[in-house]
Copies of this chain bind each other. A is one copy, B any other.
Amino acid sequence: MTTQTKAPEALCCPIEEVAPQDAAALSETAAIFKALSDGTRLRMLKTISHMTEMCECNIVPVFGLSQPTISYHLKVLREAGLITSERRGQWVWHRVNEKAVLGAVRQLSELAI
């Protein structure tokens, strides 16, 4: 925050901020993208989506990572709202939350307008 740059009005574009409510929506979207920003988590999502639903015991052997690490990634995805998890007896089943994914898709699309 040191070097103050001053743009000549005639040559540079006028300054315009993102509206506050947009900024709030964007930071929520950023949280979703943060969850999506890891190759392992993306592959997990893709795999779960493809299988419709999966339990962790079947996710673990696929990714070459420890069970706690997979559990951690599932938690990140869950807290971002990208998957839902349901316990059935001993196992916990995970599925992709299409609504959340499509919400992110929409936010992202708007950047290309």
A: residues with CB less than 8 A from B are 1-7, 11-18, 22-23, 26-27, 29-30, 33-34, 36-39, 41-43, 45-47, 49-51, 53-58, 60-62, 64-67, 91, 96, 98, 101-102, 104-105, 108-113
Contact = CB atoms under 8 A, between A and B. Distances in A.
A17 to B, nearest CB: 5
Copies of chain A in the complex: 2
- Binding site secondary structure of chain A: helix
A83 to B, nearest CB: 10
Contact of A38 (B14, B30, B111): B30
Given A12-B91, A102-B109, A105-B105, 20 more contacts: A1-B65, A1-B66, A3-B66, A4-B61, A5-B67, A7-B55, A7-B58, A11-B91, A13-B55, A13-B58, A23-B43, A26-B46, A27-B39, A34-B38, A36-B108, A49-B110, A49-B111, A49-B113, A104-B108, A105-B109
